[in-house]
Structures are given as structure tokens and as C-alpha cells.
Amino acid sequence: MRNVRSVEGRVIGAVLAILALLAAGWSSDAAAMKIERVTGASGIEAWLVQDRSVPVVTLRFSFAGGASLDPEGKDGTAALAAALLDEGAGPYDTTAFHRRLDDLAAELSFSAGHDEFDGTLRMLQANMAESANLLRLALGEPHFADEAVERVRASTIAMLAKQARNPRSLSGRLWMSDVFDRHPYGRNTSGSAASVAAITRADLADFASRQFQRGTLVIGAVGDIAPAELAALIDRVFGNLPQGGANTVVPEASPADGGALLVSRTAVPQSAVTFGQAGLKRDDPDWYAALVVNEILGGGGFRGRLMKEIREKRGLAYGVSTGLVPYRHAGLILGSVATENARVAESIALIRAEWQRMRDEGPTEDELRDAKTYLTGSFPLGLDSTRRIAGLLVRMQIDGLGIDYLDRRAGLIDGVTLDQARAVARRLFDPARLSFAVVGDPAGLESTRPARQPLH
């Protein structure tokens, strides 16, 4: 159960993680939260928010790399390694390792996205040292024993088969593989049945030694822990890792978002649709204006124009939303919707029309004000758990936002003017580039061209 679930959690990989963060209310003015920079004797640094209200500590960390380190023809290596790190390490075999985790009531998980390899350890304050020791072993001395490799490989292949019959994940895969074509972002971070079958124990061990290096490590810690305790803990967990950084060169991607409509026909009552086009990377000077404009068009809940037009007015879908997806080497604006086959063409036409309207007219003064209020106001509300705050600390470091970011974020959003918002809307939304991937049996829709890659 644990394996199947952890593998499933990674399916949509980085996209999902990023959108979840956005949905969790990634904004700012949580100025009350004090972030401390903690440095161990080894020189390893972590950002810390102390919170003594619950005897719990969450440690999250990230290494640059992830699926971008997968060897040629062996897509899914990073993901398979992530699922195997808690299947035996150091003196503990699989059963003993899980028994230790269980007895300490520690929650340890790893995941591999396109650009990063991430880990989370949530632990009881009373069991901190021993829980952290398990993490140290998982990173430094994983077994990758044959039995565990074969078992988790089988789970992964089963999960891929399941994913291949799920209209929503299929439409996401179809969109990504078409738009990124041969670029690594076009691959499934979990791999394919063939690529996962090809991964050897040596590949996994090699991956671990290349991935777990201190050069690109960032750490966020939140909870009932003092700075000195954290300094000692990160030294123990990460101090023995080699100094270097991941040696991979991922080329910049240019999404081939030529406005295609792809239909993968299958017998389900409701068509699942993924849509989007190239967007902005996180360091783009227009980022905050784009964040506001995206909120106005495709904000979750009942805030966005798309939700109003498609759900509220016409009952065409249970949900529709868009998000900015900032990979390291490409940016996207990506959305999804699901509508019954007979009417899905109407949903797609409405999305195209709203894309055009946003490009032509931009937002109104009122919409801009409301979106800014929401993005700044909802941010601290999402920071209610050690896990979420630690995730924010990690993301801030990856994105190079600075330790004072929380003090500045509200100002960055509030500072977006109507002119800027309109300019970025013209820059961002281009119906000629807006591409759709539909999985279902949609009435009146045919592919405008063949897909660039077969889905496997």
C-alpha cells in the first residue's frame, strides 16, 4: 500500500506539486513569521521557522536533479529510487526499516520531479534524533536490494498501466509529451513500462551517488526545534554527503505550443481536457503581473472567469482552473477541464474565447483589485501546518527569492498596475498558441494534426 501510494503521488510530478503550492495560497504578508538562517559546522544551511505549539518537526529538502538525471532510455530512474530509499538502508532491511519508522511514528517520503529530487520527514519532537538517523541512512546507505527493486518496479509498472487508463492523467501526458516533444520535460517522470523494466540496481546506486550531493541541497525546517538542535541535526543527516552538485545539463525548452487540438479517442462518458501554452519562468520580471492575471482568468474556487463562464453560467464542468507552472528551463500556463462528450466542444470554445478576451481587453480595475486582495490575503491562511511552511521555505530557496521574501511579497503583488496587467495579458495569452489535449469521445472534435509522440 505504501509503495503504490507513494508512486501514485508522484505521477503528475512537478506540475502537480507546483499547482498544489499555488492552490495552497502561495502569496505573502505572513510577515509575522520569523525565518532564521541556521548553519551547521559542516557549512550546510537550513532555513527555520520555530513553532512550539505542537511537539512536531517537519524537515523538507530538495536537490537539483530529479528526473533530469535519468539515464538515456531509463526514464523513471529517479522516481524508482525515490520509492526505494525507505525499503532498506544501513543496518535495516525493508521490514526492519519500516518497523523503525512505524515505532517512531515518523513519516518519511521522497519524490522526483523534472528538476528536483525532494524529501520530507515529519517527526515527533521526542523521536527527532532517531527519526533523522533513518533519513541519514536512506540517503547515504540505501540497499536497493533485489527483492525490493523487483517489488517496487512491479508496483510502478502497475501504476503506469492504471495511469494509462485514466482519462485525466492521459490528457495531461498527451499534452506534455506533445508540447515538449523530445525535451526531457516531455517524458513521464515515472517512466514507461519499457524504461522502468530496463533500470538496473547499478543505475539506482549510480543515481543516488550523483543525486545526493551537497552542492544544490536546500533545507527548510519547521516546528519544535531550536536553531542549535537543527544545526546538529542537518550536520548528522547531510554532513557526510559529497560536496559536489548534480552534473547534468538540461537544455532550455521551447514549448511547441502551436495551437493544436489533439484527440485521443476512448469510450468514456466524459472527456478530460488539458490546455495551455508557454508561460513565464519564475525569475521573469513579469511574474507577479502574470500571477495576478492568471488568477483573474483561471483562479480556483469560484474566482476565475473560466469558472464563471463554464461552471456557474452553463454547468459545463465541475471544475476548471489554470496555473502558472515554472520549471527551471521552461514556463507554462496550464489548465484542465472535464465535460460530457456531447458538450465538451462548447467548453473548449469558451476557453478559447476567454483567452482571446483576456489578450484583447486585459482585466478590469475591479478584477485586478480583487485578485490582488485574494492573492495577498489568502497566503498566510495556507501556512497552517509544519509541512506547508517547510515546503515554502524550500521553494523560496530554490527560486532564489531571498529570506526577506515574505516581507516583500504583498508589495510585489499590490504593486502590479492595470497597465502592467494588460501588457502581460497581451504577452501571455495567445489563442494561436493555446493547445488542447482531449481524452474521451468528444462530439464534433477531431485532431488538427497527429500527435508528435505515441503515448506509451
Partner 1 sequence: MIRLGQLRRYRPAWIYRCLALVLVVAAAALPARAQKFDGESFTLANGMQVVVLPNHRVPAVTQMAWYGIGAADDPRGKSGLAHFLEHLMFKGTKTIAPGEFSKLIAQAGGRDNAFTGPDYTGYHQTVARDRLDLLMRLEADRMTGLVLDDAVVLPERDVVLEERRMRVDNDPAALLREQLMASLFLNGSYRVPTIGWEAEIRRLGTEDALAFYRDWYAPNNAILVVAGDVETAEVRRLAEQHFGPIPARPVPDRVRLDEPQHPAAARFEMKHPRVAQPSWRRLYLAPSYREGETRHAYALQVLAEIVGGGAGSRLYQSLVLKDGIALGAGADYAPSALGLTIFSLYATPKDGVAVAKLEAAVEAQLRKVVEEGVDADEVRRAQQRMQAAAIYARDSLAGPANIVGAALSVGQTLDDVAAWPDRIGAVTPAEVQEAARAVLIERNSVTGILLPERMS
- Residue of the chain from 181, 286, 370, 430 that contacts partner 1 (CB under 8 A): 370
Residues 6+ apart with CB under 8 A from 248: 65, 68, 69
Q: Is 147 helix (H, G, I), strand (E, B) or coil?
A: helix
CB 226 within 8 Å of CB 50: yes
C-alpha cell of 222? 519547521
Q: Which is nearer to partner 1, 53 or 243 (CB)?
A: 53
Percent helix, strand and coil across the chain, each to the nearest 5: 45, 20, 35
- Residue of the chain from 114, 303, 328, 359 that contacts partner 1 (CB under 8 A): 303
Between 128 and 167, how does the x/- string for binding to partner 1 read (CB under 8 A)? -------------------x---x--xx-xx--xx-xx-x
Q: Which of 317, 267, 259 is nearest to 442 (CA)?
A: 267
State the nearest-atom distance from the C-beta of 217 to partner 1, in Å: 24
Q: What is the phi/psi pair of residue 317, to 5°?
A: -160, 155
Q: Which of residues 328-357 bind partner 1 (CB under 8 A)?
A: 334-340
Q: Which is nearer to partner 1, 157 or 196 (CB)?
A: 157
State the nearest-atom distance from the C-beta of 423 to partner 1, in Å: 25
Q: Which of residues 209-268 bind partner 1 (CB under 8 A)?
A: 267-268
Q: Which is nearer to partner 1, 41 or 154 (CB)?
A: 154
Question: Which residue do the cell numbers 525565518 mark?
Answer: 35
**How many residues contact partner 1, by CB under 8 A?**
90
- Residue of the chain from 62, 264, 277, 321 that contacts partner 1 (CB under 8 A): 321
Between 164 and 203, how does the x/- string for binding to partner 1 read (CB under 8 A)? xx-xx---x-------------------------------
C-alpha cell of 210? 550523483
> What residues pair up with 36 in beta bridges, in sequence order?
48
State the nearest-atom distance from the C-beta of 266 to partner 1, in Å: 8
CB 174 within 8 Å of CB 451: yes
Q: Which is nearer to partner 1, 65 or 172 (CB)?
A: 172
**Counting contacts by CB under 8 A, is residue 374 touching partner 1?**
yes
Residues 6+ apart with CB under 8 A from 385: 58
Amino acid type, 330: A
State the nearest-atom distance from the C-beta of 249 to partner 1, in Å: 29
- Hey, what's the torsion of the CAs at 44, 48, 51, 54, to 10 degrees? -50
Q: Which of residues 2-61 bind partner 1 (CB under 8 A)?
A: 2-5, 8-9, 11-12, 15-17, 19-20, 23, 25, 30, 32, 51, 53-56, 58
